[in-house]
Amino acid sequence: MNQIITIGREFGSGGREFGRRLAEELGYEYYDKEIIDEISARTDLSVEYIHQIIENKPHNLLPITVGKSFTYVDHHTLNQLQKVYGEQMQVIRDMAEKSNCVIVGRCASYILKDQKPFRIFVHADMDSRVRRCMEHMDGSEGFTAKQMKRHIKQVDKARAKYFHFYTERKWGDRSNYDLCVNTTDVVIKDIVPVIAKLFKN
């Protein structure tokens, strides 16, 4: 069976860099935004639309109940969401079947649970994440540190809701991962070769 490593990550923790370097170090395939490109190729939906659907909005699409007397569901949008999520499951399973790989985000740890992936969660304290985003994030030039902190919290809140929506588990809870790595004050390219040894014989 292929070795599958999944990476969950707090925004700004350097989780994506961690995943990319880990894949390079091990010579594994690396999947991140490629998943959305592939869903787009398999459906008639644009990358932008899929991105919005699968990362930011599932919690807005839940049935709304007011005083237990009125329920509203936007069926079209809910259908789109299910279609995209179904396609995403298939894309991720196909990727995991093809070869050893590192997959970032997308509830891959849950989708592939029967394949027993090695599940890593990357996190860091808020100050370090703000610093990392101010230095590295595309389009961060216009942000103050306060605005960046708000942005980080918003992205993480969306990730947590997305994860919980599909898995009914708590995003970032250590019990859902094999290894939680705190990247506060850590140089990611220094730590990755050590973690990689977990997968080398």
Q: CB 78 → a second copy: shortest distance, Å?
A: 33
Q: Which of residues 105-144 bind a second copy (CB under 8 A)?
A: 121, 123, 125
For a second copy, give the closer residue by CB, 88 or 109: 109
Element (H, E) at 101: strand 101-104
Q: Which of residues 175-194 bind a second copy (CB under 8 A)?
A: 175, 177-182, 184, 191, 194
Q: Does 160 bind a second copy (CB under 8 A)?
A: no
Angle at the Cα of 38 (from 89 to 121), degrees rounded to 5? 55
Tell me the C-alpha distance between 146 and 90, whole Å.
Answer: 39
The residues, ordered by sequence, that sit 6+ positions from 65 with a Cβ below 8 Å of its Cβ are 71
Q: Does 1 bind a second copy (CB under 8 A)?
A: no
For a second copy, give the closer residue by CB, 61 or 126: 126
Q: Count residues binding a second copy (CB under 8 A).
A: 17
- Cα 157 to Cα 42, 57, 72, 154: the distances in Å are 29, 11, 23, 5
Q: Which residues bind a second copy (CB under 8 A)?
A: 121, 123, 125, 172, 174-175, 177-182, 184, 191, 194, 197-198
